[in-house]
Amino acid sequence: MSRQQHYEFQEWWNKQRENHSSELLFNDKSETPNFLAVELGSAVGNHDLRVDKERTRSARQIKHVWLLKLIQIASSLAYVTTGFVSLVKTVNRRISADSPSERLLYRFETRFYRVIKVFLVIVVLLLVFELLAYSRGWHFSPPTVRRAADLVEYVYAHWLEIRANYLAPPLQNLTNVCILLFLVQSVDRLLLVLGCFWIKFKRIKPVAEFEYSSDSGDVNVEDYPMVLVQIPMCNEREVYQQSISAICVQDWPRERMLVQILDDSDDTTVQALIKVEVSKWQHRGVHIVYRHRLVRTGYKAGNLKSAMNCDYVKDYEFVAIFDADFQPAPDFLKKTLPHFKGNDELALVQTRWCFVNKDENLLTRLQNINLTFHFEVEQQVNGVFINFFGFNGTAGVWRIKALEDCGGWLERTTVEDMDIAVRAHLAGWKFIYLNDVKCMCELPESYAAYKKQQHRWHSGPMQLFRLCFMDIIRSKVSFLKKANLIFLFFLLRKLVLPFYSFTLFCIILPLTMFLPEAQLPAWVVCYIPGIISVLNILPAPRSFPFIVPYLLFENTMSVTKFNAMISGLFKLGSSYEWVVTKKLGRSSESDLLACAETEEETPIHRSSLESSLSDSRKKRKNCLYRKELALAFILLTASLRSLLSAQGIHFYFLLFQGVTFLVVGLDLIGEQVS
């Protein structure tokens, strides 16, 4: 009985519980019981109700999740937009925040940049076109004009005909010319290296007729010629003290030496500091004078010319010239001046530069490779075999009679050192290079300073070549000397090198990716440049780990050198503007202190030197270089195109070269950016 009652109660309870569920299933709002609905609901109603609740809950959760995602996307877009706007403002500020001289250079470079920008747009459009063709399989079966199915295929078929018949042939001819120039320049580089090996093997070096004794006890003053030492400087706050100290402690009779501080500074604070330093050494008995020009005409050449017009210069036989960041050893004059004895045709003794900050960063390491090759190979070989080379502007000793004989310092170019060397050579004078006499100096540590220096060094020779070409033709020197000056000294090493480097690796190579009918062999892209890089790095064997960065960086600098060469050759932009290379005052402070403190009168305190140096080492902001960035995108775009055609060596070269341009364009090489 109890079991039957339990069954009836359970049935009633189920009916009451499932009324709501049955209404949902059949949309029946009447109170009339529906036994079919009750039976169905009793079977599945509990499960359906739970599913509906879960579905309702899931829909709400999904809605909230999507709202959160939309909020995150909106905030991310706002952050990216704000960052992009600030980046554009920073770019404009850093590009436009230049000095007046830099703005003049900027106006000229804008023309060159516009050409590169147009080239970039063309390359990007060609890449888009090629990607479209690749997606349709036209690389495997090129379409023809007659069988074109649509307008795009018709245009691409016409492009293939124009590319093969009209564009590729002149590009191939230009490629062949650049390859020929590249091979000629490579042969010249190889001959220079072989000449250096011959000098080392035969142990050939200039030998003086006598040597000065290092014993200062018994000195005959008459055996020491009268020497004028000149230090031209301009706003050299960081290095003036150490350069003056290095000159004033020269092991030379004081009554036979006069030091001229030729200050062109327009900063009155720097002028006062230099005057104090000069006064200090005057009280120690050193013959030193301070000269300041009110009008800085002619830059360094005008400064030196003004100093040579002093009446007392006629009492001196030789003049030694040092830039403000150079610190010669105390025996510098004793090692250089004996070579003039008994050699009346000798006009110049040039010594080697040695760099105190060559390991400071990657930029200084790469500069050290170039300049080590220049002094160890180029200057030494030219000095031994033809007794002529370009004067480096500092760390050299001139015979004053030779300077006067060739017309003295002229203000017509920004490479007054090369100008006077060429005129002295045409007048019949000879030069000697001493590779074993080294003079400490400082390399520019920032890319901005290095770029300005290289612009002056490559625009000036073209100015000089244009001015003195007829003088070379009309001179009385032999035909071989004329040919050496015109074809080797100027054309091959000053004009051809930057021309083919920029044209071949920055213009022709990317174009051959989009015009495959014009071929640039792999040995031109990789193998020969690799061999030349090995030859360049031989004089600095410790730099072999940097051979790949050196090769890529030299190609990157070709845009600056090409721009400078064109501006100097055609008198464009600021080719006559002189920008002083920024120094940081790293040149052997401790060595100079040790030398100077040997003087018993008034020792130089370390604190004063460190204070002047600490002021100069200020944190700087990195710059952005538009030409380098544009060329980076051109090369990276070309690397994508070469990837489609599976050109291995070309792809890797374009990729790494494009990344190098990008790094340089973002100013991530050189002095560390805070």
Give the strand pairing for 327-328 and 430-441.
Answer: antiparallel
Residues in the chain, total: 674
| b/e sequence 202-223, b meaning 16+ C-beta within 10 Å | eeeeeebeeebeeeeeeeeeee
User: What tokens does 315 get?
Assistant: 């009492």
What do you get for the CA distance between the two ends of the chain, in Å? 95
CA-derived radius of gyration, the chain = 38
Task: Return d(Cα 604, Cα 593) in angstroms, integer.
Answer: 7
Helices (H), 136-267: 151-162, 168-202, 240-248
Answer whether 279's CB lies under 8 Å from 387's CB. Answer: no
Is 264 known to be catalytic?
A: yes
Task: Return d(Cα 440, Cα 578) in angstroms, integer.
Answer: 23
Kind plus residue range of the DSSP H or E element containing 313? none
Task: Return d(Cα 559, Cα 499) in angstroms, integer.
Answer: 9
Judged by phi (left if over 0) then psi (alpha if -120 to 50, else beta), residue 407 lies in: left
Catalytic residue among 263, 264, 323, 419: 264
Which residue's entry shows tokens 């005409």?
297
Query: What 3-state DSSP class applies to 671?
Result: coil
Q: 3-state SS of 295-308?
A: CCCCHHHHHHHHHH
Query: What 3-state DSSP class applies to 229?
Result: strand
Task: Return d(Cα 332, Cα 437) in angstroms, integer.
Answer: 7
Q: Minimal CA–CA distance to 667: which of 362, 356, 453?
A: 362
Catalytic residue among 323, 325, 417, 419: 417
Helices (H), 240-321: 240-248, 268-283, 299-308
- DSSP per-residue codes, 66-129: HHHHHHHHHHHHHHHHHHHHHHHHHHHHHHH---HHHHHHHHHHHHHHHHHHHHHHHHHHHHHH
Task: Return d(Cα 285, Cα 249) in angstroms, integer.
Answer: 11
- DSSP per-residue codes, 491-547: IIIIIIHHHHHHIIIIIIHHHHHH-TTS---HIIIIIHHHHHHHHHHTT-GGGGGGH
Answer whether 663's CB lies under 8 Å from 630's CB. Answer: no
Q: Minimal CA–CA distance to 499: which of 198, 165, 180, 210?
A: 180
Residues annotated as catalytic (active site), given as ranges = 264, 417
